[in-house]
């Protein structure tokens, strides 16, 4: 007799479930483990081909100590700092294409490229731009002289393309975002997001460092979005992508996509294994299975199906082992 084990985990709710199926798939028992590892047997459950915890976002991991998320719909910029639970929310006024020579602030993934306590805009009558933080060509965040523009901060776009910020706020932000700090400019529901990775445990050898646009890098980032949109995030393996917090991406950036295009459900990945015994250590699994388990620790919602040869009664200890 062969057994199939379906592992469904979502760390966001702290519960892992194991479905044991007979070869015909007619009998099943659902076992859940709590955060403390104790097992509870619940009612019979049917085989699960899709995860119900969708949609998810494509995570770009950050090894540095800060990143910026710029919400064009909310007209706010949020500074995320490693180890700091409180976000710094800064009202902005972004680009307005309806004014003369104006343009919408381009969405994308960038990094801080240039900084200056004072920059001069020759394009716009030598306007003084205080605490300039540039991230995409001549697009950046800065303060201006006067206070007339303050009434638009946090409410509506009014600039020629940059992010206008109050002088007090931009002065406070300036020393907190060194060169290379990741910046994401997005609408309210992007398909991508940033998240801090554990620098000491993050295996950058098995991941790809996001660099300036090139054909291979552009292809990889496009494939990651396509995989997300088609619901194949757990079927089509692609390496994880990270920013080290120091690399300065050349202007142009990468698309952030839209969450509205992400598949509502994702197909479960099928990984064939032999001799998966109760209590087996995860190090004995293949590189692909270990990749999936590593992904779980980073908050992804994954549905994994393991096939096992006939073993003397896979028990709830198997559930606890695989759910670690």
Strands of 187-298, DSSP E: 192-196, 207-209, 240-243, 266-267, 269-272
Express each pLDDT in 117-140 by its tens digit: 999 998 888 899 999 999 998 999
* Residue at which a domain ends, from 151, 180, 209: 180
Total domains present in the chain: 2
Q: Could you tell me the pLDDT band of residue 232, with boundaries at 50, 70 and 90?
A: confident
Q: Among candidates 154, 108, 53, 155, which has minimal Cα distance to 257? A: 108
Of 129, 163, 180, the last residue of a domain is 180
| CATH number reported for the structural domain that contains residue 172 in this entry | 2.40.440.10
The 3-state DSSP class for residue 152 equals helix
Q: Does any domain span residue 197?
A: no
- For position 203, what pLDDT does the model report? 67
Tell whether 209 is covered by a domain: no
Question: Do the domain assignments include residue 78?
Answer: no
In-domain check, residue 172: yes
Is residue 123 located within the same domain as residue 40?
no
Under a CB-based contact definition with an 8 Å cutoff, are residues 241 and 207 in contact?
yes
CA separation for the pair 163, 167 (Å, rounded): 12
Which among 8-17, 67-76, 276-285 has the top mean pLDDT? 67-76
Give the domain extent around 274: 3-54+265-322
Find the largest Cα–Cα distance for the chain: 80
In the listed set 120, 150, 180, which residue is the last one of a domain according to the structure?
A: 180
Nearest to 244 by CA among 108, 27, 42, 65: 65
- Residue 71 belongs to a domain: no
- 253 domain residue, yes or no: no
| pTM (predicted TM-score) | 0.69
Is 40 found in the same domain as 112?
A: no
| pLDDT at residue 323, rounded to an integer | 31
For residue 101, is it within any domain? Answer: yes
């Amino acid at each position: 007799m062969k057994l199939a084990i379906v592992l469904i985990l979502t760390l966001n709710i702290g519960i892992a479930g194991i479905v044991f199926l007979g070869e015909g798939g007619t009998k099943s028992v659902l076992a859940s483990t709590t955060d403390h590892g104790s097992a509870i047997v619940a009612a019979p459950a049917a085989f699960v081909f899709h995860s119900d915890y969708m949609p998810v976002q494509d995570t770009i991991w950050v090894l540095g100590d800060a990143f910026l998320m710029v919400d064009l719909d909310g007209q706010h910029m949020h500074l995320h700092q490693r180890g700091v639970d409180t976000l710094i929310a800064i009202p902005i006024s972004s680009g307005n294409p309806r004014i003369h020579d104006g343009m919408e602030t381009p969405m994308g993934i960038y990094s801080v490229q240039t900084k200056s306590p004072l920059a001069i805009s020759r394009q716009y009558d030598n306007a003084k731009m205080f605490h300039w933080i540039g991230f995409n060509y001549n697009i950046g965040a800065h303060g201006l002289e006067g206070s007339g523009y303050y009434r638009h901060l946090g409410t509506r776009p009014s600039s020629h393309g940059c992010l206008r910020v109050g002088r007090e706020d931009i002065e406070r932000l300036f020393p907190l975002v060194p060169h290379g700090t990741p910046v994401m400019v997005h609408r309210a529901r992007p398909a991508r997001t940033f998240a801090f990775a554990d620098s000491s445990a993050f295996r950058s050898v098995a991941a790809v460092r996001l660099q300036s646009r090139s054909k291979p890098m552009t292809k990889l980032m496009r494939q990651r979005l396509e995989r997300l949109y088609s619901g194949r995030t757990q079927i089509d393996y692609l390496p994880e992508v990270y920013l080290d917090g120091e690399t300065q991406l050349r202007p142009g950036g990468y698309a952030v996509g839209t969450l509205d295009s992400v598949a509502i459900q994702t197909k479960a990945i099928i990984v064939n294994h032999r001799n998966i015994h109760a209590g087996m250590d995860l190090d004995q699994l293949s590189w692909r299975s270990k990749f999936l388990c590593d992904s779980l620790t980073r908050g992804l919602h994954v549905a994994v199906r393991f096939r096992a040869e006939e073993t003397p009664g896979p028990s709830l200890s198997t559930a606890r082992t695989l759910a670690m």
